[in-house]
Amino acid sequence: MARAVMIDCDPGIDDMMALLTICASPELDLRGVTTVGGNVGIALTTRNARSVLALAGRGDVPVAAGAARSLVRSPVSEKEHAHGDDGLGGIVLPEPPGTVDARPAAEFLAATVAAATEPVTLFAVGPLTDVALFYAMYPQVAARLERLVVMGGSIGAGNMTPAAEFNVWFDPEAAHRVLTDPGVRVPTTLVPLDVTRRTGLGDADLAVLAGSGPIGALTAQALGGYRHGLGAVTPVHDAVAVLAVLHPELMTTRPARIHVDTGYGPSRGSTVVDLNPAPAGGPTVDVVVDADHRAVVGALLDRVTSLDRRV
Ligand code: BDR
Ligand code: CA
């Protein structure tokens, strides 16, 4: 039986890759998508999520919009948008059918998880605001999650500031709540920047994607502009989090205790990942510390190009 999943996202070019990977995976049964403000504002992340689902032939999947801003303090950045003004690098996607679910993301997550007859795995690949609200408002329902899989944080350097990764930097208080003090026991996997930034698509990979058909071509076009100045590879951070569920054997995972810096100094939004946690203390999360990067890229390409073979 396929695994029931949901995803909270802020598309976002690599979020698009994550959504397409889920849609291309028969082992995953996508029950709903929620959106959060992050890479771009909530109106655009919601429209983008719905358009990407329509592109993948999954316009039937319900989408609910979540938090427009972070819980406590809106982050300020001088950096230009890595994902372009519209969040998807200017590609033209189909007009999504239907309407956005009227419920706020936290309520929609709770209703969907409560209605499921089996435990649901939740991917969180944007700022953790919606998940923190879900945990705070519906702890008994959240406790029924099979697992939360987060793309975010870093063991080493950040990408928004020298210390902080974007998703945690955007809403550190939400990340603190979800990763260190959830109030509920949810098995949690953290897929940090250290691993995802080493799992990038090179020119040959983008050519494979571009050659697969219209879906691959649009995805390659979006990814082409998303290099973050990293040189030869285009990262697909959020899609790596999906692969952590589809192919755990390609990743090395260790339990760790996380500290999120919620102070207002230069390391705000950074994560301290203690890979040698003492037995006593707060909850641990399973942190992906390494991956077979080429195998992960190969698996992602297989999945996403399969969407073009379907149509
Ligand atoms: C994360 O930040 C966002 O820009 C990406 O979509 C990804 O979720 C990487 O740091
Ligand atoms: Ca994202």
Whether residue 164 is predicted with pLDDT greater than 80 in this model: the reply is yes
Whether residue 228 is predicted with pLDDT greater than 70 in this model: the reply is no
Q: Which listed ligand is nearest to 7 at the C-alpha? A: 2
Ligand 1 in reach of 15 Cβ (< 6 A): yes
Whether residue 278 is predicted with pLDDT greater than 90 in this model: the reply is no
- Among protein residues, the one with the nearest Cα to ligand 1's atom 4 is 39
Give SS3 for 231. coil
How far apart are the CA of 96 and the centre of ligand 1, in A? Answer: 23
Whether residue 105 is predicted with pLDDT greater than 70 in this model: the reply is yes
Whether residue 156 is predicted with pLDDT greater than 90 in this model: the reply is yes
Whether residue 80 is predicted with pLDDT greater than 70 in this model: the reply is no
Whether residue 168 is predicted with pLDDT greater than 80 in this model: the reply is yes
Domain harbouring 157, CATH code: 3.90.245.10
Structural domain range at position 121? 3-310
- Among protein residues, the one with the nearest Cα to ligand 1's atom 10 is 166
Q: What is the mean pLDDT of residues 128-151?
A: 98
User: Looking at residue 288, what is its pLDDT?
Assistant: 98
Ligand 1 in reach of 125 Cβ (< 6 A): yes
How far apart are the CA of 171 and the centre of ligand 2, in A? Answer: 13
The Cα angle at residue 189 between residues 183 and 194, in degrees rounded to 5: 125
Ligand 1 in reach of 110 Cβ (< 6 A): no
User: Looking at residue 76, what is its pLDDT?
Assistant: 74
Q: What is the pLDDT of residues 279-296, one digit of tens each?
A: 677 789 999 999 999 999
Ligand 1 in reach of 166 Cβ (< 6 A): yes
How far apart are the CA of 10 and the centre of ligand 2, in A? Answer: 5
Q: What percent of the chain has pLDDT over 90?
A: 84
User: Looking at residue 290, what is its pLDDT?
Assistant: 98
Q: What is the mean pLDDT of the chain?
A: 94
Alpha carbon distance 66, 85 (integer Å)? 20
Q: What is the number of the ligand 1 atom nearest to the C-alpha of 159?
A: 10
Q: What is the mean pLDDT of residues 42-46?
A: 97
Q: What is the mean pLDDT of residues 90-97?
A: 88
How far apart are the CA of 281 and the centre of ligand 2, in A? Answer: 30
Q: What is the mean pLDDT of residues 206-220?
A: 97
Could you tell me the pLDDT band of residue 231, with boundaries at 50, 70 and 90? low
Ligand 1 in reach of 159 Cβ (< 6 A): yes
Domain total of the chain: 1
**Between 252 and 277, the higher pLDDT residue:** 252
Whether residue 208 is predicted with pLDDT greater than 90 in this model: the reply is yes
Ligand 1 in reach of 167 Cβ (< 6 A): yes
In order, the DSSP letters of 36-88 are -SSSS-HHHHHHHHHHHHHHTT-TTS-EEE--SS-SS------SPPTT-TTSS
User: Looking at residue 226, what is its pLDDT?
Assistant: 76
Residues tagged active-site? 237
